[in-house]
Structure 1
Amino acid sequence: MLETLRNIVQEVNAAEDLNEALDIIVKRVRVAMGTEVCSVYMRDETSGRLVFCATDGLNPLQIGAASLAPGEGLVGLVAEREEPVKLENAESHPRFQLVEGLGEEPFRAFLGVPIVHQRDVLGVLVVQQASRRLFGESDEAFLVTMSAQLAAVIAHARVTGAVREELLAGAGTPTRVSGIAGAPGIAIGRVVVISPVADLYAVPRKTVSNRRAELRAFRAALSAVRGDIQAVSDNLRGEMSAEDHALFDVYLGILDDSAIGGEVATRIKAGQWAQGALSQVMIEHIRHFERMEHSYLRERAVDVKDLGTRVLAYLQDEEKKTDRNYPEHTILVGEELTASALGEVPRERLVGLISVRGSGNSHVAILARAMGVPTVMGAVDLPYTRLQDRELVVDGYHGIVHINPLPEVRARFQELVDQDRVITRDLESLSHLPCETLDGQRLPLWVNTGLMADVTRSLEQGAEGVGLYRTEVPFLLRDRFPSEEEQRQIYREQLEAFAPLPVTMRTLDIGGDKALPYFPIEEENPFLGWRGIRVTLDHPEIFLAQVRAMLKANAGLGNLRIMLPMISNVAEFDDALALIQRGHREIVQEGITEPLPPIGVMVEVPAAVYQARALARRADFLSVGSNDLTQYLLAVDRNNSRVAELYHAFHPAVLGALVAVAEACRAEGTPVSICGELAGDPLAAVLLLAMGYEVLSMNATALPKVKKALRSITSNEAHEVLAEVMLLEHSSEILKRLQRLMTERGLQQFIHLPLH
């Protein structure tokens, strides 16, 4: 059963579109279950009808034409109940209904199971048989398992296939693809697709006018690969049997003009660019080999992929020699965008980013927020290779990509872009004013940084300090651990740039979704694994070098604060503090007499919330990292699209934890701040003020909005709203109350509702 499941899922995954995927399903399931009919009905999103979409055994001419209304017939019953229905004699059931033209009349036995993806019934998978057969428990179990396995694949194929068909047809049907909000804002622009190095599956479709140049480039790449293979063949001539060595001749033959090489050349002559023609031909052949029954032939798919990848690498090298063209309003799109790809685009032309993979916490998302570039991450259903040069709308507030939006919707998005520009210009006048409520309560606003590029923007926006300097960013940008002196120079730049304002440097925070390329951490559950302070305590040589670099950089300035990430118990803080004190003694012996700076704890895990008072007694300050704290409290990975919608920053449990930490610090007289995304939300800032947080630290782009919101209320109003929301039991109710407050204060522009 498992082997059959695996083979079917593998085949479906390799399908080009939804129709092909459904065709594979009905054929393979019918054979696997030994039935006479297998069919799939898919729910139409507009009408709700269950459309006859694929069959092996019924009338194929009715595919796409026949359908059932919601709840109609046995198929409708399966969808309505969202559970299997099995009958020995379908005709005897009161809900039985023949669909004219399908040819169901001879088939009596019926087993149908719903295809459900994330609570949404996508359709129904049905098997039927002429003889009276009561399908057994094992039959039902197999079909349910098959449906569950295929639901996500079908959902993905449905979205990407629909978008792909619209793009190919040049149709203008509006389509939305959801991802994860990476950086706030709205962007309207033209797509430039960035292909990862030599990935056949990530090459964008593109037509060219200079076909001869593309043909020359392809033949040069082929020649280079032939040379590489011949060299390898010669090197291994004495190491392999004649039979094994003959494979090299096969590889060389595949690239001939009479084989795959000729197919690629034909597509180039038809107007496709060399990389796209190569990608299309190689993928077709790879899929052909992957579907073969014989394991030896199936494994040849790997060889074909390797050959294609080698040729593609040479073509990409050739492309790099010519300057890439970036339109005036560029939206950069790629499977997994990198900081280096971001840096290649002229800043004045870059308006938006979309990454198929990646999370809201990934390096490129952090950079995008610092730069103020609207970004959507994790848009896994986006057929990005077909979007080159197309106009898109990026909704970075809600993590949605809009393809072919209706004219009125596009116009509304343009209004939001213009509105954001006006708001930003108006808010700039606040930069020299203090952040205080209408009745004079001060609440300093600090910034989160990681690059020198953040400094100017932060100071221009009126930042009063740095609440979080991500020291891992310089580590991520290198191919080795930076030396102590290299770190000292980096930290000194930051400290000098903000002096005399305080700069809070978080010690190295790797693990989770932040792995160094030269220090990989492979774990089944990285967010509950070896990360943050756990790594650096296990590697005191890394920790001490970093601490000494920070302390040396602080000499003569005195504006350093050190913060420890992922502290989950008092012992970890004590151990880290002992190492910091040791590092301080060592630099004193070197003649640097700067006193030990304030040492703080980052409250990110529930254990630290419950030990907040004990930690506050030992530390000089506490700072809540609301992103991870929310994630751990709710047991939700917000970068996982299946559960991201359960990540609610205004969840009553999250607000309760924030109140508890603030109260613990107040009881011990220890300063408390917050440096997560919540701090940069104008709606949340009102609550944080009332809770007693003494500093809010955020991305520089959020500073003016938070300042405007806090300067529009009194501290008494903030306390009244906090008292109200702490009695509410649903995050949606809390959000509505805060939105009402913003509306009452004339700050509707801070409320961003998704457009459809």
Structure 2
Amino acid sequence: MLNVLRTIVQEVSAAPDLETVLNLIVQRIQRSMHTQVCSVYLFDPADQCYVLMASEGLNKEAVGSVRLSASEGLVGTVVQRAEPINLENAAEHPAYKYVEATGEERLSSFLGVPIIRHRDVLGVLVVQQLEVRRFDESEEAFLVTLSAQLAGAIAHAEATGSLAAIGGPSDDVMDLRFGGVAGVAGVAIGTATVISPPADLGSVPDKAAKDIEKEIASFQEALKLVRRDIKVVGRSLAQRLRSEEQALFDVYLRMLDDNALAGEVVSRIEQGNWAQGALREVVSEHVHQFSMMGDPYLRERATDIKDLGRRVLAYLQEAAPASLEFTDETILVADELTPAMLGEVPSEKLVGLVSVHGSSNSHVAILARSMGIPTIMGAVDLPLTRIDGRELILDGYSGRIYVQPSKKLLTAYSDIVRCEQEQATELEALKDLPAETTDGFVMPLWVNTGLVADVARSLDRGAEGIGLYRTEVPFMIREFFPSEQEQADTYRKQIEAFSPRPVTMRTLDIGGDKALPYFPINEENPFLGWRGIRVTLDHPEIFLVQVRAMLKAGEGYDNLRIMLPMVTSVGEVEDASRQIDRAVRELQDEGYAIKRPLVGVMVEVPAAVYQVRRFARRVDFISVGSNDLTQYLLAVDRNNPRVAGLYVSYHPAVLKALQHIAREAHKEDVTVSICGEVASEPGGALLLMAMGYDVLSMNATNLPKVKSAIRSVSKQDADLLLKEVMAMDDADRIQVFINERLEELGIALPAQPVIAV
């Protein structure tokens, strides 16, 4: 059964559209379980019914026409219970409903299993048999396992299948919605430009061939070059290979014959797809066919075909690089966005970013956040190859992407964009005003930076200091560790520009989802692995060079603060302090006029929460990294789309931990700041101010909004809000309550669509 299960899942995953997926499911299950009938019912949100979408054994005319509500028949009972129902004589069950169109009156036994994804019952998988008998436990377990495996594939096919049927922008299919992880808040309306890395077949988009003859000629030239390469390699290895092994190169060449892959690609080009897209289609189909074969030798040929496809694509891209066309409102889309890809788009034309993979902490996400570009990461169901040139709406508040939006939806989101622009204009007037409440309480607002470009943007928005300078960013954009002098030059630009305002530099924080290409860290669980201070303490040569560079950069300015990330023990703090003291002494001996800067630690893990006072006795300041702290407290990877919805800053446990940290730090008369995303939200900023945080640090884009919120309330208003929130025990209710209270206080919230979508 395991092999059958694997085969069905593989076939379904490779199917091009929803109809094919469902037909494959019912055919394969009916055959493998030796039943008379297998059917799939899927939920139709339009009329809130479960529709018979595919069947092997029932009347074909019934497919698409039979509809059952969630309270009708045995299918409805499966939906309501959200668990399997196994009956040896279905007609005797009180919920049984005879539907004449299906032709199922002869059937007796019934096994129905819900197809569930993210707690929603997408549909019901049903098998039925003529004789009266109960399906055994192994059969039920097989169907339950299969439904769990298929849920994601069906949801993906349901979304992409609709798009696959679209022929062009004028078609009637509108408002197709795909979900991801909100990376940068904001709304963008524009045209998708799909960009793919070199020789990556899977991300090559479909495009209409502008000149079919030219596309065919380019493909034939690429084939010729690949054939030449294969012959050269074959000849160079001839003396080291046996004759049967040499024959593999002949197999490669035959695969490229006009009667094989090459002929099929040419045919697809003639049908209108450009050469690269046609190649991707043909190679994908052949890889799928070989992968499904029972013979191990033949299965391995799938790898050969993929290799050939990549080789041909590389020459196609080299001869005729994909000509990217950027509209005035370009939304850049890629399987995994890179900084180099961002650089290809004129900055004045880039309005949004979408990455199928990647995290909200990736280098690109950091860049987008500092630039204020609405961004969505982890849009894993987005049909990358089919959306180039289509109109999109990117909702960076909810993490939603709409393909080919209707006029109604465009109007709603256009209103949001206009409101955002008007609000931004109004907030510009606050640049030189303090973040002071109506009753005179001043709340210092600092910024998080990582690039030189962040400096001007931050100062332009009225930042009073840098609460977090991500020193790993200069490391990430190089191909090797930057030298001490290179680091010093980079750091000095931040320190000099902000002087005399404080600049807090975090020591190198790599690991987790922030890897350096020249210093790979491969771990099964990187977030609980070798990262942050653990890496730099194990490599004092890296730590000392960086600290020396920071101290050199700060010479003559006296505004440098050094912060240690991912600290879990007093021992780590003491070890790092000794290294910093050593660097100070060395530079003083070398003639530099420096003194020991303020040194602090980041509270990012639960272990640090309960050692704040011990840390505070050994350092000059405490800073909370609320993003990681929330992630660790809730055991939620915020970059995983499956559980990203569970990552909530207003969870009662998170709020209690944040309040505890502020109180403990102040018991030792040590200042406490926070540099996570919760400080970037007006509601979060008011709660943190009431908790007693001395500094709030955020991305520059959100600073004016937070300043406006603080200037709109009294300290007493914030204290009351905190008191009421801390008495609540549900994160969703807390969020709703905060939003309601902010509206009562006259604080503008991010606009939301005014229509149901």
Say yes or no: TM over 0.5. yes
Is the CA contact 2:390–2:404 (under 8 Å) kept in the aligned structure 1?
Answer: no
Q: Distance in 2 between matches of 1:500 and 1:127?
A: 74
* 1:245-295 deviation digits (Å, cap 9, x = unpaired): 112112112222232212222322333211111111211222222222322
> Which blocks of at least 5 consecutive residues in structure 2 are unaligned?
none
Structure 1 residues 81 and 698, CA gap change in structure 2 (3 angstroms) = same
Moved more, 237-246 or 346-355: 237-246
Is the CA contact 1:682–1:750 (under 8 Å) kept in the aligned structure 2?
Answer: no
1:91 equivalent in structure 2: 91
1:659 aligns with 2:659: yes
- What SS does structure 1 have at the residue aligned with 2:467? strand
Is the CA contact 1:180–1:639 (under 8 Å) kept in the aligned structure 2?
Answer: yes
Task: Give the C-alpha shift of residue 680 in structure 1.
Answer: 1.0
- What SS does structure 2 have at the residue aligned with 1:4? helix
1:632 aligns with 2:632: yes
Task: Give the C-alpha shift of residue 9 in structure 1.
Answer: 1.5
Task: Give the C-alpha shift of residue 754 in structure 1.
Answer: 8.3
Q: Distance in 1 between matches of 2:48 and 2:422?
A: 42
Task: Give the C-alpha shift of residue 66 in structure 1.
Answer: 2.3
Q: Distance in 2 between matches of 1:59 and 1:234?
A: 60
* 1:519-543 deviation digits (Å, cap 9, x = unpaired): 2222222212221111112222221
- What SS does structure 1 have at the residue aligned with 2:593? coil
Task: Give the C-alpha shift of residue 355 in structure 1.
Answer: 0.8
Structure 1 residues 740 and 67, CA gap change in structure 2 (3 angstroms) = closer
What are the within-5 Å matches in structure 2 for residues 250-261 of structure 1? 250-261=251-262
Q: Distance in 2 between matches of 1:299 and 1:64?
A: 39
- What SS does structure 2 have at the residue aligned with 1:29? helix
2:246 equivalent in structure 1: 245
Instruction: Look up the equivalent residue of 1:527 and give its one-letter code.
Output: F
Task: Give the C-alpha shift of residue 404 in structure 1.
Answer: 2.9
Q: Distance in 1 between matches of 2:403 and 2:550?
A: 47
Task: Give the C-alpha shift of residue 682 in structure 1.
Answer: 1.2
Task: Give the C-alpha shift of residue 45 in structure 1.
Answer: 2.1
Moved more, 746-755 or 729-738: 746-755
Q: Distance in 1 between matches of 2:509 and 2:721?
A: 35
Is the CA contact 2:606–2:632 (under 8 Å) kept in the aligned structure 1?
Answer: yes
Q: Distance in 2 between matches of 1:610 and 1:245?
A: 66
What are the within-5 Å matches in structure 2 for residues 541-690 of structure 1? 541-690=541-690
* 1:480-500 deviation digits (Å, cap 9, x = unpaired): 222222212211222122222
1:435 equivalent in structure 2: 435
Moved more, 399-408 or 651-660: 399-408
Q: Distance in 1 between matches of 2:470 and 2:510?
A: 10
Task: Give the C-alpha shift of residue 181 in structure 1.
Answer: 0.7
Task: Give the C-alpha shift of residue 323 in structure 1.
Answer: 5.6
Instruction: Look up the equivalent residue of 1:236 and give its one-letter code.
Output: L
- What SS does structure 1 have at the residue aligned with 2:238? coil
Q: Distance in 2 between matches of 1:32 and 1:533?
A: 54
Q: Distance in 1 between matches of 2:657 and 2:238?
A: 68
Instruction: Look up the equivalent residue of 2:516 and give its one-letter code.
Output: L
1:263 equivalent in structure 2: 264
1:373 equivalent in structure 2: 373
Q: Distance in 1 between matches of 2:26 and 2:360?
A: 38
Q: Distance in 2 between matches of 1:258 and 1:404?
A: 39
Instruction: Look up the equivalent residue of 2:555 and give its one-letter code.
Output: A
What are the within-5 Å matches in structure 2 for residues 361-440 of structure 1? 361-440=361-440
- What SS does structure 2 have at the residue aligned with 1:111? strand
Task: Give the C-alpha shift of residue 611 in structure 1.
Answer: 1.0
- What SS does structure 2 have at the residue aligned with 1:228? helix
Structure 1 residues 170 and 261, CA gap change in structure 2 (3 angstroms) = same
% identical aligned pairs = 56
Q: Distance in 1 between matches of 2:497 and 2:744?
A: 39
Moved more, 735-744 or 119-128: 735-744
1:218 aligns with 2:219: yes
1:70 aligns with 2:79: no
Task: Give the C-alpha shift of residue 129 in structure 1.
Answer: 1.8
Q: Distance in 1 between matches of 2:299 and 2:550?
A: 55
Task: Give the C-alpha shift of residue 634 in structure 1.
Answer: 1.2
Normalised by the length of structure 2, the TM-score is 0.97
Task: Give the C-alpha shift of residue 106 in structure 1.
Answer: 2.8
1:497 equivalent in structure 2: 497
Q: Distance in 2 between matches of 1:562 and 1:508?
A: 11
Q: Distance in 2 between matches of 1:324 and 1:640?
A: 30
- What SS does structure 2 have at the residue aligned with 1:286? helix
Structure 1 residues 463 and 43, CA gap change in structure 2 (3 angstroms) = same
Q: Distance in 1 between matches of 2:9 and 2:164?
A: 21
Q: Distance in 2 between matches of 1:101 and 1:744?
A: 56
Q: Distance in 1 between matches of 2:231 and 2:489?
A: 49
Structure 1 residues 401 and 754, CA gap change in structure 2 (3 angstroms) = farther
What are the within-5 Å matches in structure 2 for residues 176-195 of structure 1? 176-195=177-196
What are the within-5 Å matches in structure 2 for residues 514-553 of structure 1? 514-553=514-553
- What SS does structure 1 have at the residue aligned with 2:353? strand
Q: Distance in 1 between matches of 2:718 and 2:121?
A: 43
Instruction: Look up the equivalent residue of 2:427 and give its one-letter code.
Output: L
1:143 equivalent in structure 2: 143
Q: Distance in 2 between matches of 1:221 and 1:591?
A: 62
Q: Distance in 2 between matches of 1:257 and 1:581?
A: 71
Q: Distance in 2 between matches of 1:381 and 1:63?
A: 26
* 1:95-127 deviation digits (Å, cap 9, x = unpaired): 222322323233222211111111101111112
Moved more, 2-11 or 107-116: 2-11
Q: Distance in 2 between matches of 1:36 and 1:534?
A: 61
Aligned residues between the structures: 755
1:41 equivalent in structure 2: 41
Instruction: Look up the equivalent residue of 1:281 and give its one-letter code.
Output: V
- What SS does structure 2 have at the residue aligned with 1:257? coil
1:734 equivalent in structure 2: 734
Structure 1 residues 565 and 86, CA gap change in structure 2 (3 angstroms) = same
2:276 equivalent in structure 1: 275
Q: Distance in 2 between matches of 1:344 and 1:37?
A: 54
Q: Distance in 1 between matches of 2:754 and 2:590?
A: 58
- What SS does structure 2 have at the residue aligned with 1:300? helix
Is the CA contact 2:369–2:699 (under 8 Å) kept in the aligned structure 1?
Answer: yes
Instruction: Look up the equivalent residue of 1:543 and give its one-letter code.
Output: F
1:284 equivalent in structure 2: 285
Task: Give the C-alpha shift of residue 698 in structure 1.
Answer: 0.7
* 1:716-742 deviation digits (Å, cap 9, x = unpaired): 111111111111112233223322332
Structure 1 residues 187 and 501, CA gap change in structure 2 (3 angstroms) = same
Is the CA contact 1:476–1:516 (under 8 Å) kept in the aligned structure 2?
Answer: yes
What are the within-5 Å matches in structure 2 for residues 738-749 of structure 1? 738-749=738-749
* 1:453-489 deviation digits (Å, cap 9, x = unpaired): 1111111111111110111111111222222222122
Is the CA contact 1:51–1:65 (under 8 Å) kept in the aligned structure 2?
Answer: yes
Task: Give the C-alpha shift of residue 208 in structure 1.
Answer: 2.8
Task: Give the C-alpha shift of residue 749 in structure 1.
Answer: 4.0
Task: Give the C-alpha shift of residue 52 in structure 1.
Answer: 1.5
Structure 1 residues 653 and 753, CA gap change in structure 2 (3 angstroms) = farther
1:129 equivalent in structure 2: 129
Q: Distance in 2 between matches of 1:165 and 1:575?
A: 62
Q: Distance in 1 between matches of 2:570 and 2:34?
A: 62
Task: Give the C-alpha shift of residue 750 in structure 1.
Answer: 4.1
- What SS does structure 2 have at the residue aligned with 1:101? helix
1:300 equivalent in structure 2: 301
Structure 1 residues 190 and 477, CA gap change in structure 2 (3 angstroms) = same
- What SS does structure 2 have at the residue aligned with 1:122? strand
- What SS does structure 1 have at the residue aligned with 2:504? strand
- What SS does structure 2 have at the residue aligned with 1:196? coil
Moved more, 204-213 or 445-454: 204-213
Is the CA contact 2:416–2:752 (under 8 Å) kept in the aligned structure 1?
Answer: no
Instruction: Look up the equivalent residue of 1:279 and give its one-letter code.
Output: R
Q: Distance in 1 between matches of 2:411 and 2:754?
A: 14
Q: Distance in 2 between matches of 1:117 and 1:503?
A: 46
Task: Give the C-alpha shift of residue 166 in structure 1.
Answer: 4.2
- What SS does structure 2 have at the residue aligned with 1:645? helix
Is the CA contact 2:419–2:751 (under 8 Å) kept in the aligned structure 1?
Answer: no
Is the CA contact 1:613–1:665 (under 8 Å) kept in the aligned structure 2?
Answer: yes
2:314 equivalent in structure 1: 313
* 1:180-231 deviation digits (Å, cap 9, x = unpaired): 1111111111111011222222111111322233223222211221111111
- What SS does structure 2 have at the residue aligned with 1:357? coil
Q: Distance in 2 between matches of 1:337 and 1:238?
A: 44
